[in-house]
Structure 1
């Protein structure tokens, strides 16, 4: 127990991972924090496959994910900021439910931005999935499923949930919003995210001290 308290004390005394990031400048705090899915510190990416800035962020995200701390949960969420965004938003969830995200996610980005081949219809999207080895009937069944439509509809609420009007946007633990414009670029976004993750970790450790003390006294 003594060792556990010592560890918590050290966590509280640790400086934040990066200094100099201010609320209202490099990030903003939500007036109404949103619930997160897991028990870790959540980093949620709001993106759209048709967005070139999201495409360019992928390489930075891949490097960040390679060294992501174990207590951080990374979640992707397609934003649907207009009717034309729904097709590709549903593409993500269809691939997720089919268990083929590894075959669809980056290739779809590459198809749209590297190869400059747009996908504007369900028929074109189905053909792309088939090219990646997904049977057409599996695509049709999943793309039109209640589960995919329900998840995609949540992407239509990002304006109300997070006050977001563009992508890519990163949400830290349902509380903090980070955009490339605020942070000063895609690479800086992840520096701000690391700072906010450390901030949340420190707050959690601080909250754990009185709870542990109360438990020890019982």
Structure 2
């Protein structure tokens, strides 16, 4: 996806939406993404979160795991604890879930183009994927 994002830079806007699918570990991943956005460290931690979950096979299993991860990233523990349980955090997670449900996304990775074209197939070639996304993004209604 990173290669595809680079190929699409300046051509289409890519917006990440974390998927929870009512799975506890995935919901904690949603919380991790929310926290990264809230503290404006998405670029710093996105690849670390991905590596932790998908390469090291160590998904977040508790809020304490989340807390420890973000404290390691330099976030103040007291501020972090207030943010994790905040109304804003709960609203963001509900919004992520609503977006996922509306798009009928059941797993990851999934790409939704222009709110109507859901790409489920695994395309391993960044160039081919970027061409497909551009085609769908520019397809007339």
* TM-score of the superposed pair, with normalisation by structure 1: 0.57
> What secondary structure is seen at the aligned counterpart in 2 of 1:95?
helix
Q: Residue 197 of structure 1 is aligned with which of 134, 137, 141?
A: 137
Residue matched to 2:104: 163
Alignment check: 8 A CA contact 1:170 1:178 kept: yes
Larger % of strand: which? 1
Q: Residue 54 of structure 2 is aligned with which of 97, 102, 113?
A: 113
Cα drift, residue 132 of structure 1: 1.4
Specify whether residues 99 and 160 from structure 1 end up closer, same or farther in structure 2 by C-alpha distance, changes over 3 A only. Answer: closer
Alignment check: 8 A CA contact 2:19 2:100 kept: no
Distance (Å, rounded) in 2 between the aligned partners of 1:176 and 1:132: 36
187-196 vs 86-95, greater mean Cα deviation: 187-196
- Deviation digits for residues 108-141 of structure 1 (CA, Å, limit 9, x no counterpart): 1112233333320000110011111111112212
Residue matched to 2:13: 73
> What secondary structure is seen at the aligned counterpart in 1 of 2:51?
helix
Residues 1:178 and 2:130 aligned together: no
68-77 vs 168-177, greater mean Cα deviation: 68-77
Cα drift, residue 103 of structure 1: 2.3
Which stretches of structure 1, 4 residues or more, deviate above 6 A after TM superposition?
none
RMSD over aligned Cα atoms: 2.1
> What secondary structure is seen at the aligned counterpart in 2 of 1:78?
coil
Which structure has the greater CA radius of gyration? 1
Distance (Å, rounded) in 2 between the aligned partners of 1:168 and 1:86: 15
> What secondary structure is seen at the aligned counterpart in 2 of 1:141?
helix
Specify whether residues 71 and 114 from structure 1 end up closer, same or farther in structure 2 by C-alpha distance, changes over 3 A only. Answer: closer
> What secondary structure is seen at the aligned counterpart in 1 of 2:13?
strand
> What secondary structure is seen at the aligned counterpart in 2 of 1:74?
coil
- Deviation digits for residues 2-54 of structure 1 (CA, Å, limit 9, x no counterpart): xxxxxxxxxxxxxxxxxxxxxxxxxxxxxxxxxxxxxxxxxxxxxxxxxxxxx
Aligned residues: 138
Q: Residue 94 of structure 1 is aligned with which of 28, 32, 35?
A: 35
Residue matched to 2:72: 131
Specify whether residues 112 and 197 from structure 1 end up closer, same or farther in structure 2 by C-alpha distance, changes over 3 A only. Answer: same
